[in-house]
Amino acid sequence: MSVKHNLISIIKSKTGLFFIVAGSAYLFWFFLYELFIKPKTLLDEKVITNIVYFSSGILSWFSHETYSAIDDPNMQMIGIDGAHPVWIGGPCDGVSIMAIFTLFIACFPANHLSKLWFIPIGLIIIHFLNILRVCALAAISFYAPDYLAFNHTYTFTILIYACIFGLWMFWVNKFARK
């Protein structure tokens, strides 16, 4: 078999078609986000403000006094009194991973009705996981600041992506095949 024949058979397969459609949709999203949404809207700032608000509430529920800064879009942060704050930037607000989640579900060949209710639920779950991640990072900054960089870079990245992969697999196995 030739390389050309293998490439054509991959493109004609459902899996190949999915990756082509999802990849194209992601490229469209990436350029739309980077060229229009990010520089011309307050989406990231609003999402970060929401994360700070709910993180503060959760940490307060656990009897922690918190402080935050949300007025400067370049310095949005939350911390527990007595510790360095956790800075929340655009790459950490979850918008991009929510877009990838949405595109994966939207591009997957399946019942459209299941997509309409699962995407919003998935986005809420992802946002809530991100709020819990910020709470945990603020707690680590307070209790064990030497472990903050490692947990931010590795532990929570792996956990968040594993949870999103779990959401995808749950949807594919329970709803997409019907």
pLDDT in tens, 38-88: 999 999 999 999 999 999 999 999 999 999 998 887 789 999 999 999 999
Distance, CA of 118 to CA of 106 (rounded, Å): 10
The pLDDT value given to residue 147: 97
- Which amino acid, residue 165? F
Q: 21: domain range?
A: 1-41
Same domain, 107 and 161: yes
Residue 13 CB neighbour total at 10 angstroms: 11
Rounded to an integer, the average pLDDT of 106-125 is 93
Confidence of residue 95 (pLDDT cuts 50, 70, 90): very high
**Percent of the chain beyond pLDDT 70?**
92
Distance, CA of 95 to CA of 91 (rounded, Å): 8
Distance, CA of 58 to CA of 8 (rounded, Å): 52
Same domain, 66 and 10: no
Same domain, 78 and 125: yes
pLDDT in tens, 5-14: 665 665 667 7
- Kindly state the DSSP code that residue 82 receives in the 8-state scheme: T
E-state strands within 53-149: 66-69, 77-80, 86-87
